[in-house]
Amino acid sequence: MKKRLLPIGLLLGLLTLAGCATGTNRPHNFARWEKAVHAFEVQDAKHAPPTNAIVFAGSSTITRWKTLAKDFPGLPVLNRGFGGSQIVDATHFADRMILPYQPKLIVFRSGGNDLWAGKSPEAVAGDFQDFAESVHAKLPATKMVYLSWSPTPMRWKQHEQEKQLNTLVGSYIAGKSWLQYLETYDLPLGTNGLPRAELFASDKLHFNAAGYKLLANRVRPLLPK
């Protein structure tokens, strides 16, 4: 008896559905961030950053936070975020953009792009656990703060997933002396429960100056005096 082969269209469709279910329908491209990470290395070679610094790392919320020095005067803050990235990117490049500084504290925010790419909250929370534990294994004296995710007008349709991600990460962090969870979900919300447009840039995705002012006020009490 001849084996019946699936029509090529049906086969491709099944493969696509399998990929979408996991959010990994194509290999992750770490190379796309090589230029950004190399730029940090060039910058460090020209102006050696202080050790024992406070490193802000993660995706575009961190990348676009251009007022760190002004928001936290007198503190050795370093911005090592790269926009559009996912948590696995931070893990992959940690040896080059976090570990060399021997930071006193890491302030980390990432995960929204991961959800937008189709990953489940459980998968993203697992990626954060991998990041946190891999860094902690090499920097056991370094503390870490996870800035929870907050909704945006542009990606409002994933706000329930963001809530789930926050809950999962918060549960993982609970009881760990070297990890702290900072809730920011409510930060941009108005009295109607929706994100306030006046806190976001024209893309309706990233904070503007007013949004970052609120975020800085939320983060400030957790930083060293």
Half-sphere exposure of 41 (CA within 13 A, CB side): 12
Closest CA relative to residue 76, chosen from 107, 110, 109, 103: 103
- Under 8 Å between Cβ of 124 and 59: no
pLDDT for 196 equals 98
- pLDDT value, residue 38: 94
> What is the structure's pLDDT at 50?
84
Among 182, 185, 108, smallest CA distance to 149 is for 185
Q: How far is 135 from 113, CA to CA, in rounded Å?
A: 21
Q: Which amino acid is at 137?
A: A
pTM of the complete model beyond 0.85: yes
User: Please, what are the averages of pLDDT over each run of 10 residues along the chain (225 residues)?
Assistant: 44 39 64 92 92 94 97 96 94 95 97 96 98 98 98 97 98 98 98 98 98 98 91
Q: Give dist(CA 195, CA 198) in Å, integer.
A: 9
Half-sphere exposure of 95 (CA within 13 A, CB side): 2
The reported pLDDT for the residue numbered 18 is 40
**Is residue 123 within 8 Å of residue 29, measured between CB atoms?**
no
What are the residue ranges spanned by the domains of the chain? 48-222
Residues 191 and 82: their CA atoms lie apart, in Å, by 32
> By C-alpha distance, which of 165, 109, 173, 111 is closest to 136?
173
- Please tell me the predicted confidence (pLDDT) of residue 25: 54
Whether 125 contacts 172, CB under 8 Å: yes
Q: Which CATH superfamily is domain 48-222 in?
A: SGNH hydrolase (3.40.50.1110)
pLDDT, residue 4, reads: 46
